[in-house]
Amino acid sequence: MKSRAIITLMLLFTLAACSTKMSYYFLDWAIEWQLDDYVSLNKSQQQAFDKVLDEFIVWHQKEELPRYVAQLDNLKAQMQSNTLTPALWAEHVNYAQSHWFRLFDHVFDGILPIIQSLSDEQVDELIAQLRKDEAETVAEYAGKSQAELVKDSDKRLEERAEKWLGKVSNKQKAMIHDSNTTRLATLDMWLEYRHEWLRQFEQALRQRSDTEQLASRLRQLMTAPHTLRSQAHQDAIRLNQENFGRLVMDIYRDLSDKQRKKLWREYDALTVDLRELALEAADSSGQ
């Protein structure tokens, strides 16, 4: 899950899963702000969306955040005991994806009538913005050689590592580069998948008068997008997930004392925020 009515919720789930305590308090504002970039809702649609959003945030804070904390605690224990394997890392990725499926199931009944009530003009607006996003993504990668793509990936991973570890050593940079070099190339398959996803999403919206068909298509697109990927693409994704898990453990074993302290300081700060948010929700519901 860097891939909004419905698409905006995808962004929400990404923010909710990764946000700090302060940003979580402004989550509803962030969602509304992003939604405006994709489709302009009328008054009744906006009221319905706000109701779904308000209920969702309360539910998510109380029910879902503890799941994130549990997974983070489990991942930390595996790393510190040196029992995290590439296969286990891939399972963590799959489990994190399952969080999205639960979220979609929870809001689906509230969101479906809003989507079905969209006018042709609103659908045109939404699809036009999504096509613009797709074109920008294609333009970002078009014409780049594999070496250039590896270089870009090296830079992104080094920046992410610095957030968690501080200054990254030359040896660790070399590990990142070697991992990216051995990573299976999936760009063409990924772009093809994104295009097919958008094509089917547009088709579902264009035929939204059929409630049963709309519900079926949206559930597939949101909870089973792997069905739009070829088997070769799915296999490559799994191997790349394991490859990244191997990189995580290789770098972890190479950490200096200073880097290790910063890693767990940042990591624990995240889990503390999520745990406190979950407790706040539980206390509020118990009053």
pLDDT along the chain (287 residues), means of 10: 36 42 60 76 93 89 91 95 95 86 87 94 94 93 90 95 96 98 94 94 95 93 89 95 96 98 93 89 67
Model pTM? 0.84
Measured distance CA(200)–CA(186) in Å, rounded: 21
The whole-angstrom separation of Cα 195 and Cα 36 is: 23
For the CA atoms of 92, 191, 36, 280, what is the dihedral angle to 10 degrees?
A: 0
Name, in order, each residue with C-beta under 8 angstroms of 219's C-beta and a sequence gap of 6 or more: 104, 108
Nearest of 252, 243, 242, 249 to residue 182 by alpha carbon? 243
Q: Which pLDDT score, from 0 to 100, does residue 132 have? A: 94
Rounded to whole angstroms, the Cα distance separating 50 from 41 reads 11
What is the distance between the alpha carbons of residues 55 and 97, in angstroms, rounded to a whole number? 22
Q: Are 116 and 208 in contact (CB under 8 A)?
A: yes
pLDDT score, position 77: 97
Q: Say how many C-beta atoms besides its own lie within 10 A of residue 227's C-beta.
A: 9
How many CA within 13 A on the CB side of residue 281? 20
Rounded CA-CA distance 20/25 in Å is: 9
Q: In this predicted structure, what is the pLDDT of residue 223?
A: 83
